[in-house]
Amino acid sequence: MEDIPRVEDELSDLTSENDSQKKQETLEEMLSRHRNEISRLQDKETAMKKVAAKGSKAEQRAKKKQVDEEISKLSAELKDMHNRELASLGFNNGNNTNDQDSKGDLNNLVNAIAGISVHMAHSDHSKPSKSVKKREKRAQQEA
């Protein structure tokens, strides 16, 4: 478990790097940095789990519990840090309002960070599929 302090040091290095980058950062840059931080955290999680898988069964159980607690703590800290940074740019959480427009503001950003596409209500300008085109063509020929 000697790797856990090293991982914490690396996470603190990430936060110190983030402090220097916060000064003039656009939303896209911030979201990109958040994605990179999430992927780094996932890599560290995998490495910690691999280290915990070594040893006897009793040691593995104890290490696994310790690693799971550490991972949940690190991921919660990272998520809180990301929420604070997004809030500093003016994006509210939306949990305390009932407005549908502002409710998903931060949720859309979190989904964008995770790589999930954000669909707006007025996205009717999508390209029709081939089957829709075929149906329209048949309807025109029959008429």
Q: How many CA atoms lie within 13 A of 127 on its CB side?
A: 2
Mean pLDDT of 17-24: 54
Question: Quick one: which of 55, 45, 35, 56 has its CA closest to 10?
Answer: 45
Mean pLDDT of 96-112: 56
Q: Tell which wins on pLDDT, 19 or 60.
A: 60
Alpha-carbon span 116 to 108, nearest angstrom:
9
Cα–Cα distances in Å, from 13 out to 78, 87, 91? 13, 22, 26
Per-residue confidence (pLDDT) for residue 13, from 0 to 100: 55
- Region of 98 please: left (phi>0), alpha (psi -120 to 50) or beta: alpha
Neighbours of 125 (CB within 10 A): 5
Q: Do 41 and 74 touch, CB atoms closer than 8 A?
A: yes
Per-residue confidence (pLDDT) for residue 126, from 0 to 100: 74
Q: Tell which wins on pLDDT, 6 or 85.
A: 85
pTM of the model: 0.52
